[in-house]
Amino acid sequence: MCGRYASTSSSKELQSFFDTMQTVGDELPPSYNVAPTQPVRVILERTPNEEPDAEPQRQLRTVKWGLLPAWAKDRKMASKLINARSETVTEKPSFRSSASKRRAIIPANGYYEWMKSEAGSKIPYFLHSEVDILAMAGLYELWPDPELPEDDPNRWVWTCTVLTRPASDATGHIHDRSPLILPESFWEHWLDPNLTDKGEVQAMINSVPEPHLEPYEVSTAVNSPRNNDPKLLEPVRN
């Protein structure tokens, strides 16, 4: 699974890296310990509401981590849908609609995972790549808050989830699941809102190559989402 990650790139850096045309939502400060239900930055492509015949625009947008399907009765479901299994994402009721129509990239500078030691304790590791920014595959959704009137600009709640896959041999000893990380050659097709055939989407997911990630042990301070500073990324010196 992916339950914590680091997102330290500025909006300007993300705009340049992903070549976005529009930025929507609040600027977020660097976070060294992003946790579920918190606001996060995502990359997506949408047709402007005021120009339905225009080409989709790539945008950087602030949403909340934890998917709320349009049919969810309340916000409680979000904490249960922070991840989606890539093997079944086009079939599961909670994800299949957004998998076909609302795919996103969730930028991260790396993510945390916990390995169970022989003594039974859990040791945190930070997994990263030579590339400064990882493009984690995600989905987004718009949820109508039933407690707000239809004309309230805050009625539509934007949320997201991170897709996961079986971990590769290089990182599988730490945890059996890892985020689905998209190489740059996949970005255009992944974000294309005109690609809606679930068979094609699943085929694309299945063709994503395994990433080359490097793990190192970090402090157990990351266990608490209240801790959020650059020291969390420092390797533990054994």
Which residues carry out catalysis?
2, 113
H or E element at residue 101: helix 96-101
Return d(Cα 42, Cα 121) in angstroms, integer.
33
Query: At CA 40, angle to CA 199 and CA 217, rounded to 5?
Result: 95
3-state SS, residue 231: helix
Q: Annotate 185-210 with DSSP letters as a single string.
A: HHHHHHH-TT---HHHHHHHHHTPPP
Q: Are 7 and 44 in contact (CB under 8 A)?
A: no
For β-strands 31-34 and 103-108, DSSP reports them as unpaired
Quote the longest CA-to-CA distance of the chain. Answer: 60
Q: What is the gyration radius of the CA atoms in the chain, in angstroms?
A: 18
Question: What phi, psi does 125 have (nearest 5°)?
Answer: -125, 150
Is 53 exposed, middle or buried, given 0-12, 13-18 or 19+ CB atoms closer than 10 A?
exposed
